[in-house]
Amino acid sequence: MSKRYFIETWGCQMNDHDSEKLAGTLETMGFEVTQEASDADVYLLNTCTIREKAAEKVFSRLGVIRQMKQNRGGEMVIGVTGCVAQQEGAQIFSRAPYVDLVLGTQALKSLPDMMDRIEQRQGHQVNVDKDPDNHLFPVKQISRKAKLKGLITIMEGCDNYCTYCIVPFTRGRERSRPVADIVAEARMLAEQGTKEIELLGQNVNSYYSTVSFAELLRQLNEIESLHVIRYISPHPKDFDRDVIETIRDCPKIATNIHLPAQSGNSRILKRMGREHTRNHYLEKVSMIREILGNQCSLTSDFIVGFPGELDSEFNETVTLLEEVGYDRIFSFMYSPRPGTGALKHGDPVPQSVKHERLQILQKRQLEIQKQRMEARIGQEVCVLVDAIKLGERFPVSGRTRDNLLVHLDVGELAPESLFSRSLPVTITGAGVHTLRGRLGVS
Ligand code: 5AD
Ligand code: SF4
C-alpha cells in the first residue's frame, strides 16, 4: 500500500497554494492523500504568523500531532512549513524534538531531498534558505484541490516593509513570474475545465516582468473558456488608472477592489510606513468610482491600536469607513511581530482599548454594509455558481463579478445542473453578508 500524507493549512491563499505545491511534490514521490490525519505517514503543518501568538499556536497544535505520531509507534514524519517555519527555523526542534523537518516558504523544491534524508535516518532536516526562484515552481507538480477555481502564483514577496508587517521577512523580496508562463498555466487550467482563476502574490498588483499587471490582465482576459479572473492581495499604490480602466474594459476581471487602508489617519499611516495619506487614499477611491461606477465593490483591511494611536486618530478610521462606504472590511487588533520596524514603539495601547476600538469599527461597518447590500436589491448581475449544498434552504450559491455571495432561488431546476455555470440573476433580497437572487433578468 502506498504511503499517505496529510497537510493542514493555516493563513492566506498563498499558503493554500503552497500546500497544493507540497501535495503535488509528495504525490510525485508516490504518496497519496488521506482525509484521516491520524493515518498519515507524513503530516505537514503549513503555518501562518501574521498576527498574535502564532508560534504558541503552532506548538500547541504540534502537541496534538505528536500524540498521533505516538499512536503510530513513532512512524509519522512531522513537518512544519510556512511562515512560522521560516521565522523560527531550527529552533522548532529544541521545543518540539519530535518534529522531523522544518521547511521555509522559499525552499519548497527541497522537500524531496529532505524526505530522502529522513528516510535514511539522518535526523532533523531544516531548510529556510531563500531560493530566488522559488516562485518558478514546476506547474505539473501542483496538486490542485478545486477544479472550478485555480490558484496561480504570479509573484512572490514584498519590498514595502510596512512597520507592522512580518511578510517581507517570511516571504522575501519581490519576484515576478514571466508572463508567458502565467498565461500558459491559465490556458492549461481553462482547458481542464477551470472557470475561475485567482492570481496570487503578496503584492499581486506590483507584478512586473516584461509587461505590467494591467497588460497581464488583458492577456488573461483573452482566454475564452475562463469566466472570472480574481487576484489577491493588492497594494493600493499599484492601482493606477491603467489597471482600473483595464478592469472596466475586460469583462472577466473581477470588480471587487481590495484597497487596504490600515488606518484613516495620516500620522498613523506615516508611522506604519504606508505610502498614502488619508487624502491620497480618498483620491484613489474617487478615481476608482469615477471609472468603475457602481459596478465595483470596495473592501479594505484595518489595524486598530497601532502604537501611539489616539482616540481622535482612531475616529478618523471610523470616518473613513463612512466616507468611502466599504462593502466589507477585515479589521484586526495590532499585534507586535518579531523583527518589524514598529517594535521600537512598544505596544502601548492597552488590550481593552484595542478591543473596544475593534468593536466600534466593526459595528459601524455592519451598519454601512447593511445599507449597501440593501441598495443592491433589484440589480441584475451575473453569478458564477460555485457551490451546491443539497439539503440546505438555498442549495445553489455563487459569487458576483464583484465577489458578493448570492444564494439562488432556482425554482424547479436541478441544483447540480447549474454548477460551474455563469447565470443572469436578479437580486431579490439582502442580508448583511449575503444576497439572495432569482434566476433570470427582466
Ligand atoms: N497586527 C495586526 N494586523 C496585522 N496585519 C498585518 N500585520 C499585522 C499586525 N502586526 C493585517 C493587515 C494586513 C492583513 C493581511 O493583516 O491589516 O492587511
Ligand atoms: Fe500568514 Fe502572511 Fe504568511 Fe500568508 S504570507 S501565511 S498571511 S504570514
Is the C-beta atom of 303 inside 6 A of ligand 1?
Answer: yes
Structure confidence at residue 317 (pLDDT):
98
What residues make up the domain containing 90?
Answer: 4-127
CA of 332 to the centre of ligand 1 (A): 7
Q: Which of 89, 112, 127 is the last residue of a domain?
A: 127
Structure confidence at residue 124 (pLDDT):
98
Going by alpha carbons, the residue nearest to atom 6 of ligand 2 is 48
Structure confidence at residue 190 (pLDDT):
97
Low-confidence ranges of the chain (pLDDT < 70): none
Q: Which of 93, 112, 127 is the last residue of a domain?
A: 127
Is the C-beta atom of 354 inside 6 A of ligand 1?
Answer: no
Structure confidence at residue 163 (pLDDT):
98
Structure confidence at residue 226 (pLDDT):
96
Tell me the HSE value of 67 on the side-chain side, using a 13 A CA sphere: 6
**Does residue 168 lie in a domain region?**
no
Asked if omega into 233 is within 30° of 0 (cis), the reply is yes
Going by alpha carbons, the residue nearest to atom 16 of ligand 1 is 50
Q: Is 419 exposed, middle or buried (0-12, 13-18, 19+ CB in 10 A)?
A: middle
Cell triple for 290: 469615477
**Ligand 1 atom nearest to 52, measured from its CA:** 1
DSSP 262: B
Structure confidence at residue 415 (pLDDT):
93
Cell triple for 231: 487576484
Domain count, the chain: 2
**Does residue 385 lie in a domain region?**
yes
Structure confidence at residue 107 (pLDDT):
97
Structure confidence at residue 2 (pLDDT):
86
CA dist 175 and 181 (Å) reads 14
Structure confidence at residue 53 (pLDDT):
86
Going by alpha carbons, the residue nearest to atom 1 of ligand 2 is 48
CA of 376 to the centre of ligand 1 (A): 30
Is the C-beta atom of 295 inside 6 A of ligand 1?
Answer: no
Cell triple for 243: 489597471
| CA nearest to 138, candidates 41, 291, 44, 24 | 24
Q: Which of 93, 127, 161 is the last residue of a domain?
A: 127
Going by alpha carbons, the residue nearest to atom 5 of ligand 2 is 167
**Does residue 348 lie in a domain region?**
no
Going by alpha carbons, the residue nearest to atom 2 of ligand 1 is 334
**Does residue 28 lie in a domain region?**
yes
CA of 331 to the centre of ligand 1 (A): 8
CATH number of the domain encompassing residue 420 = 2.40.50
Strand partners of residue 328 = 299
Among all ligands shown, which has an atom nearest to the Cα of 349? 1
CA dist 427 and 404 (Å) reads 11
| CA nearest to 143, candidates 50, 18, 242, 254 | 18
Is the C-beta atom of 164 inside 6 A of ligand 1?
Answer: yes
Is the C-beta atom of 337 inside 6 A of ligand 1?
Answer: yes
Going by alpha carbons, the residue nearest to atom 13 of ligand 1 is 301
Among all ligands shown, which has an atom nearest to the Cα of 85? 2
| Count of other CB atoms within 10 angstroms of residue 361 | 19
**Does residue 87 lie in a domain region?**
yes
Structure confidence at residue 44 (pLDDT):
98
**Does residue 54 lie in a domain region?**
yes
| CA nearest to 42, candidates 32, 50, 53 | 32
**Does residue 115 lie in a domain region?**
yes
Pocket test for ligand 2, best of 18, 45, 48, 164 (most atoms within 8 A of CB): 48
CA of 164 to the centre of ligand 1 (A): 7
**Does residue 167 lie in a domain region?**
no
Ligand 2 pocket (Cβ < 6 Å) reads 11-12, 14-15, 48-50, 82-83, 167, 170-171
CA dist 420 and 437 (Å) reads 17
CA of 326 to the centre of ligand 1 (A): 18
CATH number of the domain encompassing residue 99 = 3.40.50.12160
Residue 422: phi, psi to the nearest 5?
A: -95, 120
